[in-house]
Structure 1
Amino acid sequence: MPSLSALKQTAFAPGLQAGEADALVAASGLRVRDERVRGRGAGLNMSGRYELEAREVFDDGWNSLEDLAPFKTEVQIEKPRTVITRNQSPDLSFDRSINPYRGCEHGCIYCFARPTHAYMGLSAGVDFEARLFAKPDAPRLLERELSRPGYKVQPIAIGTNTDPYQPVERRWRIMRQLLEVLEAAGHPVGIVTKSALVTRDIDILSRMASKGLARVALSVTTLDRKLSRTMEPRAAAPDKRLEAIRALTEAGIPVSVMVAPVIPGLNDHEIERILDSAKAAGADAAGYILLRLPIEVSPLFRDWLLRHYPDRYRHVMSLIRSMRGGKDYDAEFGKRMRGTGPYAWQISRRFDMTAKRLGLNLRKAPLRIDQFVPPHGEGVQLSLL
């Protein structure tokens, strides 16, 4: 970790927005000790934005910080009333999704879902990675919701917020149970993950895919193992994700690759290489999303960037702001996924031209919705016939 003097030298360099230098130096004093967050993405654990009190860990002069144990992953049970989440966003290709977990152990520093932990009174920083919530009732709730009279079938997206195949899924197996419910009902599903654990469920996914009911998207952010381990510490290594694409494709499951997020000045030079590698592994479609820095994600990402790539800090943030109207983020529909301006246009053109050259996105068949049979869920009156 850089010394405070080094942080000040970087923070007060030209090119930073007003007040940003002070914020960065202040954040350096809020960082969690390295030994406590080894293997985590975030270096901060500020209080949730809805809390009445803000708490700060500091050394009282007796080396008390040395007594604090490293953060360990804790999983609590969440009991929601429903499991299907609806949205009306014009930027999204789906209108419903399922999240079997809240929080994500992958620890991706750029994750736009981090701010949701504030609703639980927790931090978007280390808490998001270490204090997770599992929904073991999700399969039962899904069966009940699919059984409701008047339910209109459309593909369900899983993995759009937090990863359904994050490490804790090995023990909880909630995602696999959800797939069992969807397969039995003939319900289409689209999955987004950056975990090779998805290959565990090839048996179910291949049967669904043979009926046009399943598609998987693997997120490949970088092919640089060092950058990946730093930026998304507990996610599968890039080569493992490519192997997963190959295994899924060989099982007859259509696979897309998501270059997400594209971070200008950090991984945007890899767009062509990632698409080439994914196509060689069997992917037939591709997409990308520009880095998003909503609410608490911005200070977390900036702190991470300053710690690991201080020499690139000003350049990366300058490029990001050039595509966000001078701000760290613009949440306006139609702009938030792609950005605006010359650099954003250049990224879009490079992606489109490479995808076209490789023959990606040419024959992406829609998932079928004509095979749905409502399950006999809990509380549903059976037919007398």
Structure 2
Amino acid sequence: MPDGSIRADASSLLEGARKGRGATSNPAVRFDRLALEAFDDGWQTLEEAFAELPPLATTLTRDAARSAISWNSSPDIGFDRAVNPYRGCEHGCVYCYARPSHAYLGLSPGLDFETRLLFKPDVGALLEKELRKPGYTPRPIALGSNTDPYQPVERRMKLTRTILEVLERFGHPVTIVTKSAGVLRDRDILARLAERRLVRVCLSVTTLDPKLARILEPRAASPERRLAALRELSDAGIPTALLAAPMIPAVNDMELERLLERAAACGVTRAGYVLLRLPLEIAGLFEDWLREHMPDRADKVLSLVRQTRGGRVYDSDFAQRMSGTGPYAEMLATRFRIAARRLGLEKRDGAELDCSQFSPPLLPGEGRQLDLF
């Protein structure tokens, strides 16, 4: 292993807030038998190391995937297929439910998840090949189901735009969830898809407080930029929705109604929310983050979280993993329902996305036999 890699790995052992990063630690991969820990040799070497933690650069690695579409059968998710051009996400949202998936790559769900990214350079060609398979039945494809399709690296990689170009040519419906105002770059394609009832764009907004957003999701667009993007998309005739997620007890839950009000003023016609989820390594990462940034209320937040999960920090049961149980969870659901009804965010703006337009375009040379007749 080259010296640069050794230094990068050693650097990742040092725990603490890093400028521009969300996680404050890099826990071991749960499948590994051995784990590395920082150790003070008695000469205050760790104290010196912690005094000024080095920045962590983002690295990109080619993902040699052989398919573009991932499938799921979860009954509480509104789609059965998705395309993710990236693994890992530079936005650095400390609560991201996708973090544990990095362990399958032999990488940590902590800082590795937001600094060591994989990309699928052939995702457009792979998607086109799968859409041409005999017997393929179209249903809306989700972009942003695992990691954000418009995270910062998309500015130069442009893989999400490639995906949208394929879906437009095939007449295939798509839904998008993002925290980035970068979605506006593809407004031209999205507007054309909207005219054909083939797209819906959802922006996730967690808080209206820019200071909270800076530590909660450090490399995502500011809340105001996301709201402005919703306005611009709505003005362009593109159906939009707001996802107030996650709602974190005693951190941002008090903002729920204001988030819905601001979104409605931007032309949004649908909204949803998700209660904080802490599966696998995320529980420890989130607690580390809480004690680093909000030590005065960390115990209260964790207590409320357990009250929504039957006394545990997380319950993966499909029936309640998105909304929780108990008095607090019921109160949050009631608040959302009342506000959404008042603001008209429960209505459905026209028909659902149209799957009937799906038609794989002819390949070069196809159809020429008919010219003989």
TM-score, shorter chain, exceeding 0.5 = yes
Partner of 1:47: 28
Give the unaligned 5+ runs of structure 2.
1-12
Q: 2:89 aligns with which of 100, 104, 109?
A: 104
Show CA shifts across 1:283-322 (max 9, x none).
Answer: 1100001100000000000010011111111111111101
Q: 2:15 aligns with which of 17, 32, 39?
A: 32
Partner of 1:155: 140
Partner of 2:175: 190
Q: In the TM superposition, what are the counterparts of 1:130-209 in structure 2 within 5 Å?
A: 130-209=115-194
**Number of corresponding residues:** 353
Report the Cα offset of residue 131 of structure 1: 0.3
Partner of 1:24: none
Tell whether 2:358 aligns with 1:372. Answer: yes
For residues 383 and 153 of structure 1, what CA distance do their matches in structure 2 show? Answer: 26
Partner of 1:311: 296
For residues 74 and 113 of structure 2, what CA distance do their matches in structure 1 show? Answer: 24
* Residue pair 2:23, 2:92 contacting (<8 A) in 1 also: yes
For residues 212 and 57 of structure 2, what CA distance do their matches in structure 1 show? Answer: 23
Show CA shifts across 1:299-358 (max 9, x none).
Answer: 000010011111111111111101101001000011100100111010000001000000
Code of the aligned partner of 1:184: R
Show CA shifts across 1:88-144 (max 9, x none).
Answer: 111011110111100000000000100001011110100000000011111000000
Report the Cα offset of residue 375 of structure 1: 3.6
For residues 190 and 113 of structure 1, what CA distance do their matches in structure 2 show? Answer: 18
* Residue pair 1:199, 1:244 contacting (<8 A) in 2 also: yes
Code of the aligned partner of 1:170: R
Q: In the TM superposition, what are the counterparts of 1:257-296 in structure 2 within 5 Å?
A: 257-296=242-281
* Residue pair 1:110, 1:291 contacting (<8 A) in 2 also: yes
Question: SS at 1:288's partner residue?
Answer: strand
**Distance change in 2, residues 1:79/1:210 (3 Å):** same
Partner of 1:13: none
Code of the aligned partner of 2:130: E
State which drifts further: 68-77 or 338-347. Answer: 68-77
* Residue pair 2:14, 2:53 contacting (<8 A) in 1 also: no
TM-score by length of 1: 0.88
Show CA shifts across 1:25-69 (max 9, x none).
Answer: xxxxx75254xx211000111211111210113344374764974
Taking every aligned residue pair, what percent have the same amino acid on both sides?
A: 55
Report the Cα offset of residue 282 of structure 1: 1.0
Partner of 2:7: none
**Distance change in 2, residues 1:356/1:293 (3 Å):** same
Partner of 1:246: 231
Code of the aligned partner of 2:143: I
Code of the aligned partner of 1:47: A
Question: SS at 1:257's partner residue?
Answer: strand
Code of the aligned partner of 2:222: A
**Distance change in 2, residues 1:146/1:382 (3 Å):** farther
Give the unaligned 5+ runs of structure 1.
1-29
Question: SS at 1:349's partner residue?
Answer: helix
Code of the aligned partner of 2:28: S
For residues 278 and 15 of structure 2, what CA distance do their matches in structure 1 show? Answer: 21
For residues 259 and 338 of structure 1, what CA distance do their matches in structure 2 show? Answer: 12
Code of the aligned partner of 2:353: L
For residues 69 and 362 of structure 2, what CA distance do their matches in structure 1 show? Answer: 18
* Residue pair 2:16, 2:25 contacting (<8 A) in 1 also: no
For residues 246 and 377 of structure 1, what CA distance do their matches in structure 2 show? Answer: 38
Q: Pairwise CA RMSD of aligned residues?
A: 1.8
